[in-house]
């Protein structure tokens, strides 16, 4: 059930009505959300829910053990069991075939027999997001950052809550489960802001992301040899915008939907293509993932509180594993390691010269060069991310650097949408907030018409086929 489908509009309307009809009763309203979340996920296939239920049961028992034991050894053992079992599910269902193929390639020439047939396990949609959120809750409980003991039902609902289950954002307990006890409220302004956020997400997805994907990105990456170097470069730029507007659209709709039920999710993007270095970029892109990697991987490894060589190694490990999290293919790890290597270069440069000044003409010039270099690095490394395999990525790079000109295959529609994407990305956030305030002041029937036009009319006007969200595959 896609966020941009009529099914979801009906589903959200019914769930909203039921939830607010019983919102004064905690278990009734949580029950509505649980049933809705199960139905939402079951529209794809219900079987992975059994996996999620079992993994949550193990974690819940470990959390109970944390609270009842004062032995550091026992508590660490329970934490290990929880993390290993949770990551084990991810490794088995997402990476088993990758590791099998790697073993065949490495051990086969040495005469070691390795299974050649694919395991063919079903990859549950949203498994990566479920895993990271599950681990964050267990670790926070172990650290004592979550004081109140929760029921298994609440624990499971925290993980399965339908707005964020499939593609994030990765929600911390303080923004969801710790709000379960509070009787929710929703003012007309808050409801209007939630609907506005949903409308913005629909526009990003249908008007920008889908048009760029179908109109240029897909055909160029499928056959880069059929296009000029200039067209390949424009396609790489278009893919970066497609990925941003597609994923941020999902986050917008998730944030807006959660707001309609009285929950506030943190922002997941902050105009990432305005970043002036890669550290700045990762503080703006997929913020919930960046914070998760920082708090549950980089800092536990020692972060930058260790020797400088070890700090660089920690950075490489974090970025490499963060890249591999995106998909069961070594090209994702390569993409992550490429970012990690360039971040290491930046960090070493700062150690030698000091961080650049933030004010003055020199600062502005350096920021301009930094922005151009950062955007170029993001665009070029994303070719590995988007290509179906490393061979096709190599073909794309080879074609890109041939230097052939000509842009005949870039349609007027694609140019127009790229312009809209670029302008909207650099538009001050204050204007979006003012537009939201204007939307809130509209009469309810007018708001409904706006949502229908954005969600359905634009798609038909552009004649672009509705596409799945890119991050569903991760």
Any idea which residues carry the catalytic annotation? 326
User: Are 37 and 161 within 8 A, CB to CB?
Assistant: yes
Tokens (6 digits) for 280? 């700045």
Q: Packing angle between helix 361-386 and helix 330-353, nearest 10 degrees?
A: 160
Residue with tokens 């929703």: 186
Give Cβ neighbours of residue 218 (< 8 Å, ≥ 6 apart): none
Q: What are phi and psi of 78, to 5 degrees?
A: -65, -40
Please answer whether residues 236 and 400 qualify as being in contact, where contact means their C-beta atoms are separated by less than 8 angstroms: yes
Query: Of 141, 191, 166, nearest to 20 (Cα)?
Result: 191
CB of 329 closer than 8 Å to CB of 474: no
- At 166, give phi and psi (nearest 5°): -80, -40
Token pair belonging to 239: 């893919």
CA 128 – CA 323 distance, rounded (Å) = 12
Query: Is the separation of the CB atoms in 340 and 316 below 8 Å?
Result: yes
Query: What is the DSSP-derived secondary structure letter of residue 303?
Result: T
Give residue 34's Cα distance to chain centre: 23
CB 51 within 8 A of CB 93: yes
Give the single-character DSSP code of 267. P
Distance CA 216, CA 410 (A): 7
Question: What are the backbone dihedrals phi and psi of residue 119, each rounded to the nearest 5 degrees, phi first?
Answer: -70, -35
Q: What b-and-e string marks burial along 185-211, b requiring 16 or more CB atoms within 10 Å of the CB?
A: ebeeeebbbbbbbbbbbbbbbbbbbbb
Cα Rg of the chain (Å, integer): 23
343 contacts 381 by C-beta, under 8 angstroms: no
Torsion of CA 444, 445, 451, 452, to 10 degrees: 160
- The b-or-e profile of 53-72 (16+ CB within 10 A means b, else e) is eebbebbbebbebbeeeeee
Q: What is residue 295's DSSP assignment?
A: I
> Which tokens belong to 195?
């609907």
């Amino acid at each position: 059930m896609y966020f941009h489908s009529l099914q979801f509009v009906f589903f959200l309307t019914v769930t909203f009505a039921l939830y607010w009809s019983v919102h004064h009763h905690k278990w009734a309203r949580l029950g509505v959300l649980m049933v809705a979340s199960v139905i939402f996920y079951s529209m794809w296939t219900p079987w992975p829910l059994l996996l999620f239920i079992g993994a949550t049961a193990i974690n819940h028992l470990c959390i109970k053990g944390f609270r009842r034991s004062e032995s550091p050894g026992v508590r660490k053992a329970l934490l290990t069991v929880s993390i290993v079992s949770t990551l084990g599910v991810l490794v088995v269902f997402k990476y088993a075939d990758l590791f099998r193929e790697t073993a065949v390639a490495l051990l086969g020439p040495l005469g070691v027999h390795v299974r050649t047939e694919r395991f063919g396990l079903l990859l549950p949609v949203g498994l990566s997001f479920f895993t990271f959120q599950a681990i964050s809750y267990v670790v926070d409980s172990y650290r004592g950052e979550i004081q109140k003991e929760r029921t298994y039902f609440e624990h499971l609902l925290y993980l399965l809550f339908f707005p964020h289950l499939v593609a994030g954002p990765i929600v911390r307990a303080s923004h969801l489960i710790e709000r379960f006890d509070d009787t929710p409220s929703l003012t007309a302004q808050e409801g209007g802001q939630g609907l506005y956020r949903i409308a913005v997400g629909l526009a990003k997805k249908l008007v920008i992301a889908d048009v760029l994907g179908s109109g240029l990105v897909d055909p160029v990456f499928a056959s880069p040899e059929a296009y000029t170097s200039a067209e390949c470069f424009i396609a790489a730029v278009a893919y970066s915008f497609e990925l941003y507007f597609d994923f941020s659209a999902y986050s917008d709709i998730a944030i807006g939907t959660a707001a309609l039920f009285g929950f506030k999710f943190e922002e997941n993007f902050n105009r990432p293509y305005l970043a002036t270095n890669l550290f700045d970029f990762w503080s703006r892109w997929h913020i919930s993932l960046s914070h998760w990697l920082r708090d549950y991987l980089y800092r536990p490894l020692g972060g930058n509180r260790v020797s400088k060589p070890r700090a660089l190694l920690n950075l490489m490990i974090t970025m490499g594993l963060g890249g591999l999290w995106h998909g069961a293919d070594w090209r994702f790890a390569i993409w992550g390691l490429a970012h990690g290597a360039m971040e290491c270069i930046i960090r070493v440069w700062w150690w030698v010269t000091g961080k650049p000044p933030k004010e003055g003409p020199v600062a502005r010039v350096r920021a301009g060069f930094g922005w151009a270099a950062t955007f170029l690095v993001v665009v070029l490394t994303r070719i590995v991310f988007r290509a179906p395999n490393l061979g096709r990525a190599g073909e794309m790079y080879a074609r890109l650097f041939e230097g052939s000109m000509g842009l005949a295959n870039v349609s007027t529609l694609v140019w127009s949408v790229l312009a809209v994407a670029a302008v909207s990305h650099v538009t001050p956030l204050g204007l979006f907030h003012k537009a939201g305030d204007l939307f809130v002041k509209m009469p309810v029937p007018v708001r409904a018409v706006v949502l229908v036009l954005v969600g359905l009319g634009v798609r038909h006007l552009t004649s672009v086929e509705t596409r799945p969200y890119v991050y569903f595959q991760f």
